[in-house]
C-alpha cells in the first residue's frame, strides 16, 4: 500500500524518531476521521486495574475505530495522548505505541493530566486520520464486498461486458475465507471456511478447476474420539455411531438424528415456510424435546449447531436449522466428511485462493480495498455509493455482506421494513477455529482420524486439517456456541492452552508421548468488525415466517447476494458462488432491459 500521509522532519528540529514526526500532512484530497479519546475500557465498560493493560486495551480500541472507518495506522496524521500520573522516567505507553505504529510516525502530543473522565482511567489516546480519496468513478455496477459471492458477481458482470467496481472494507479479498501461511513454506491453514466437495457442490468445484487449484481429500481414516456428557472418552470408527454412551445415549442420539434427517427431507428449500411453517414457531431445542429427545440427543444437536452455525439449539428456529440442513442435501450429507459430504475436500493453499484467483481475473484496479461503504443513495439516474476511500456512481448496486452488517450502510431510500427485520433479528454465531500445528500427525499412528466430538467442550469438534504434501500437520479445533463464547472471555494464551489440554485429554488419552503443538492459528470472527460472527446469519423462531420472502428481493436498483441468500448449500462456499451468480444474472438482465 502506498503511503497516504507524508511525515516531515523539518531542518534543525530535534530528532523525533522512532515514535513521531514533527509534522505530518495528508497526501492530497482526503476524508478526515477523528476518534474519541480511547481509554482502556472493554465492551462492557470494564477497566483493567493495571495501567499497562489499560494502555494496551486503549490501543486495541483505537485500532477498532480505525478499522470501522476504513482507516489504517498509516493514515494517522496525529495522535494525542492524555496520561495520568505521567512519569517521564517510566514511559509505560512507549512499547505498546511502537507496536501499534509499526514504523509509522504521525505528529503527536503528549499531555500529562491530573485525571480523566472516570477516576479509574489512566491513559487516553485520540487519533486524527486523513483517508485519501480517489476521484468519483462511474461504473455500471458496484459490488459491496470482495468475498467469494461478491467477486463471483463482479466476474460475471465484467464478463457480460459491463464495467464493475468492487468496494471492500478489508485490506484483502476473501471475506470469511482467510488462508494464512504465517511461517512461509506454503503451509497454509484456513482461519475461516475450509471445505467443498466435487459432486453436489458443482459450482465451487468448477471454479476450483477453472482456477487450477490443488485439492486435498479430508482424512477420515481411523477412529473418531467421542466425549460423552459425563466427560468419559470413547472411540468409534469414522462413519459409524458412538457406542456405550451414558444413560442409553446412543439410542437417543440415533433417534433424534434420524428424525431430523427425515423431517428436513420433507422441506422445500424454495419455499421452506410453506412446507414447514409450524417448525418456525419453536426453537430447535423445543422441537427436539417435543420429539422425545433426551440429554444426549440434545447434546448431539448442540454439536451440530455449534459446529455448523456457532449457536445453541435454543438460539434458532427449528425450521431454520432443518432447512439449512436440507440446503446441503440433508443433515447427514452436510455433516459428512466423505464423498458428497460438506467436508470432503480442502484446498492445498487454502480456500482464499478461490477469491484471489477470481480477483486476478477482474480488470485491473477493479477492487478498492480498506474502503467500507457508508451510504447508498438511489436517484433517478442510479445509485450514489459513498465509501471511505472514494465515491461511485453506478446503475446497479450489489450488496454481498451478511444481513446483520446492512446496518453499517445508510440506504436511501431506507431498506424495506422486512429486510431491516432480517438484519436486526438474524443472529451471527460464535465459531473460532483454533488450529494447533504439530511437527507430525501423531494421532494417526494411534488409529485416530483426528476427529473429536465432545459434548462437554471446550472443543466441540476437531478435524485433521493437514496438507501432507507440504508437511503441514494440524488439528482444527472448533470453539463454538456457548462453550466457545466462554473461551472467548479468556486471554488468547489461556484459550489456546485450554484447547491443547483438551486435545491431550481426549485424542491423547492413553498416549504417553502426545507432542506439544509447534504453533497455532485462530481468528475470533465474532470480534471481527466486518464479520461480527460466522458462518451464516441464523433466524430465531418467527423470522422466516414473516420475512424470508424479503431475503433475496432487490430494493430498487440494489441487489443482495451472499451465501445466506443461496437456496443450496447456504452458509457454504458453494452457496456463496451460487448467490454471486444469481446476483450477476439479476443485474445483467436489468441492465440489458434498460438498453432496450
Judged by CB under 8 A, the chain residues 18 through 57 that form the site for a copy of itself are 20-38, 41-45
**In the stretch 188-227, what mask flags binding to a copy of itself with x, by CB under 8 A?**
----------------------------------------
Residue from 68, 160, 216, 246 in contact with a copy of itself (CB under 8 A): 68
Q: Choose one: 4-12, 270-278, 433-441, 490-498; the region binding a copy of itself (CB under 8 A).
A: 4-12
* Closest residue by Cα to residue 145 from 422, 364, 401, 357: 401
Q: How far is the CB of 537 from a copy of itself (least distance, A)?
A: 15
Judged by CB under 8 A, how many residues of this single chain contact a copy of itself? 76
DSSP string, 459-484: --EEEE--BGGGTBEEEEEEEEHHHH
Q: Please, which residues have CB within 8 angstroms of residue 202's CB and are 6 or more apart in sequence?
A: 574
Instruction: Indicate the SS3 state at residue 112.
Output: strand
What are the CA-CA distances from residue 7 to residues 27, 94, 105, 110, 330 (Å)?
Answer: 10, 19, 7, 18, 58
Instruction: Show the CA angle centred on residue 573, arms to residues 549 and 433, nearest 5°.
Output: 110
Write out the three cell numbers for 446.
Answer: 494411534
Q: Which residues in 497-516 contact a copy of itself (CB under 8 A)? A: none
d(CA 124, CA 121): 8
* Closest residue by Cα to residue 379 from 558, 548, 524: 558
Burial category of 589 from C-beta neighbours within 10 Å (exposed 0-12, middle 13-18, buried 19 and up):
exposed
Residue from 204, 213, 264, 388 in contact with a copy of itself (CB under 8 A): 388
Q: If binding is defined by CB under 8 A, does position 248 make contact with a copy of itself?
A: no
d(CA 131, CA 151): 25
CB of 38 or CB of 506, closer to a copy of itself: 38
Q: Please, which residues have CB within 8 angstroms of residue 576's CB and are 6 or more apart in sequence?
A: 147, 148, 149, 152, 204, 562, 563, 566
Q: How far is the CB of 458 from a copy of itself (least distance, A)?
A: 21
Read off the DSSP letter of residue 35.
P
Residue from 73, 77, 207, 325 in contact with a copy of itself (CB under 8 A): 77
Residue from 4, 56, 59, 65 in contact with a copy of itself (CB under 8 A): 65
Q: If binding is defined by CB under 8 A, does position 522 make contact with a copy of itself?
A: no
CB of 130 or CB of 288, closer to a copy of itself: 130
Q: How far is the CB of 384 from a copy of itself (least distance, A)?
A: 11
Q: How far is the CB of 144 from a copy of itself (least distance, A)?
A: 16
Residue from 52, 53, 80, 488 in contact with a copy of itself (CB under 8 A): 80
d(CA 78, CA 25): 9
Are residues 531 and 559 in contact, defined by beta-carbon separation less than 8 angstroms? no
Are residues 83 and 44 in contact, defined by beta-carbon separation less than 8 angstroms? no
CB of 20 or CB of 443, closer to a copy of itself: 20
Q: Which residues in 338-377 contact a copy of itself (CB under 8 A)? A: 374-375
**In the stretch 92-121, what mask flags binding to a copy of itself with x, by CB under 8 A?**
--------------xxxxxxxxxxxxxx--
Q: Which residues in 123-152 contact a copy of itself (CB under 8 A)? A: 124, 126, 128, 130-131, 133
Q: If binding is defined by CB under 8 A, does position 567 make contact with a copy of itself?
A: no
Q: How far is the CB of 532 from a copy of itself (least distance, A)?
A: 6
d(CA 23, CA 541): 56
**In the stretch 390-419, what mask flags binding to a copy of itself with x, by CB under 8 A?**
-x----------------------------
Q: If binding is defined by CB under 8 A, does position 427 make contact with a copy of itself?
A: no
Q: How far is the CB of 375 from a copy of itself (least distance, A)?
A: 8
φ, ψ for residue 201, nearest 5 deg: -100, 60
Q: How far is the CB of 80 from a copy of itself (least distance, A)?
A: 8
**In the stretch 532-551, what mask flags binding to a copy of itself with x, by CB under 8 A?**
x-------------------
What are the CA-CA distances from residue 351 to residues 180, 549, 550 (Å)?
Answer: 10, 31, 30
Q: How far is the CB of 113 from a copy of itself (least distance, A)?
A: 6
Write out the three cell numbers for 131.
Answer: 483517508
d(CA 72, CA 95): 19
Read off the DSSP letter of residue 593.
H
Q: Choose one: 15-23, 291-299, 496-504, 539-547; the region binding a copy of itself (CB under 8 A).
A: 15-23
H or E stretch covering 285: helix 284-290
Q: How far is the CB of 348 from a copy of itself (least distance, A)?
A: 33
Burial category of 10 from C-beta neighbours within 10 Å (exposed 0-12, middle 13-18, buried 19 and up):
exposed
Q: How far is the CB of 72 from a copy of itself (least distance, A)?
A: 13
Amino acid at each position: 500500500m502506498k503511503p497516504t500521509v507524508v511525515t516531515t522532519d523539518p531542518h534543525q528540529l530535534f530528532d523525533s524518531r522512532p515514535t513521531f514526526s514533527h509534522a505530518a500532512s495528508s497526501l492530497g484530497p482526503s476524508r478526515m476521521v477523528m476518534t474519541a479519546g480511547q481509554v482502556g475500557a472493554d465492551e462492557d465498560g470494564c477497566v483493567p486495574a493495571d495501567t499497562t493493560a489499560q494502555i494496551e486495551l486503549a490501543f486495541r480500541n483505537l485500532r477498532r475505530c480505525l478499522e470501522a472507518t476504513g482507516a489504517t495506522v498509516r493514515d494517522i496524521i496525529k495522535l494525542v495522548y492524555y496520561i495520568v500520573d505521567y512519569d517521564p522516567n517510566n514511559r509505560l505507553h512507549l512499547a505498546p505505541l511502537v507496536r501499534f505504529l509499526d514504523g509509522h510516525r504521525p505528529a503527536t502530543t503528549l499531555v500529562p493530566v491530573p485525571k480523566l473522565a472516570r477516576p479509574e482511567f489512566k491513559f487516553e489516546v485520540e487519533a486524527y486520520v486523513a483517508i485519501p480519496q480517489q476521484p468519483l468513478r462511474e461504473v455500471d455496477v458496484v459490488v459491496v464486498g470482495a468475498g467469494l459471492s461478491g467477486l463471483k458477481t463482479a466476474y460475471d458482470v465484467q464478463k457480460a461486458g459491463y464495467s464493475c467496481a468492487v468496494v471492500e472494507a478489508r485490506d484483502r479479498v476473501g471475506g470469511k475465507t482467510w488462508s494464512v501461511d504465517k511461517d512461509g513454506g506454503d503451509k497454509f491453514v484456513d482461519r475461516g471456511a475450509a471445505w467443498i466437495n466435487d459432486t453436489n457442490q458443482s459450482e465451487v468445484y468448477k471454479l476450483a478447476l477453472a482456477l487450477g487449484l490443488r485439492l486435498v481429500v479430508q482424512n477420515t481414516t481411523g477412529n473418531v474420539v467421542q466425549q460423552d456428557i459425563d466427560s468419559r472418552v470413547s472411540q468409534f470408527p469414522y462413519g459409524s455411531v458412538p457406542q456405550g454412551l451414558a444413560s442409553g445415549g446412543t439410542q437417543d442420539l440415533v433417534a433424534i438424528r434420524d428424525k431430523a434427517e427425515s423431517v428436513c427431507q420433507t422441506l422445500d428449500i424454495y419455499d421452506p415456510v410453506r412446507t414447514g411453517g409450524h417448525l418456525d414457531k419453536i426453537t430447535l431445542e423445543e422441537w427436539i424435546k417435543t420429539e422425545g429427545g433426551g440429554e444426549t440427543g440434545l447434546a448431539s444437536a448442540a454439536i451440530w449447531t455449534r459446529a455448523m452455525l456457532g449457536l445453541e439449539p435454543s438460539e434458532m428456529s427449528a425450521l431454520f436449522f432443518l432447512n439449512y440442513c436440507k440446503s446441503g442435501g440433508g443433515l447427514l450429507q452436510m455433516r459428512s466428511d466423505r464423498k458428497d459430504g460438506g467436508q470432503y475436500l480442502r484446498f492445498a493453499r487454502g480456500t482464499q485462493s478461490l477469491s484471489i484467483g477470481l480477483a486476478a481475473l477482474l480488470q485491473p484496479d477493479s477492487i478498492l480495498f480498506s474502503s467500507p461503504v457508508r451510504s447508498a443513495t438511489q436517484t433517478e439516474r442510479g445509485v450514489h455509493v459513498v465509501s471511505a476511500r472514494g465515491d461511485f456512481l453506478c446503475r446497479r448496486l450489489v450488496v454481498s455482506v451478511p444481513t446483520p452488517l446492512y446496518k453499517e450502510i445508510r440506504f436511501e431510500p431506507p431498506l424495506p421494513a422486512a429486510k431491516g427485520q432480517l438484519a436486526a433479528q438474524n443472529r451471527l454465531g460464535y465459531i473460532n477455529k483454533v488450529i494447533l500445528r504439530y511437527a507430525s500427525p501423531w494421532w494417526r499412528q494411534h488409529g485416530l482420524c483426528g476427529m473429536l466430538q465432545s459434548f462437554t467442550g471446550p472443543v466441540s469438534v476437531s478435524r485433521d486439517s493437514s496438507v501432507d504434501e507440504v508437511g503441514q500437520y494440524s488439528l482444527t479445533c472448533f470453539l463454538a456456541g456457548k462453550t466457545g463464547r466462554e473461551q472467548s472471555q479468556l486471554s488468547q494464551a489461556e484459550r489456546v492452552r485450554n484447547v491443547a489440554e483438551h486435545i491431550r485429554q481426549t485424542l491423547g488419552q492413553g498416549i504417553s508421548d502426545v507432542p506439544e503443538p509447534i504453533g497455532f492459528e485462530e481468528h475470533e470472527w465474532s470480534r471481527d468488525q466486518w464479520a461480527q460472527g460466522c458462518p451464516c446469519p441464523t433466524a430465531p423462531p418467527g423470522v422466516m415466517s414473516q420475512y424470508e420472502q424479503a431475503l433475496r428481493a432487490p430494493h430498487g436498483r440494489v441487489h443482495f447476494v451472499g451465501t445466506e441468500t443461496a437456496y443450496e448449500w447456504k452458509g457454504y462456499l458453494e452457496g456463496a458462488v451460487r448467490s454471486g451468480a444469481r446476483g450477476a444474472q439479476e443485474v445483467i438482465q436489468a441492465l440489458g432491459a434498460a438498453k432496450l
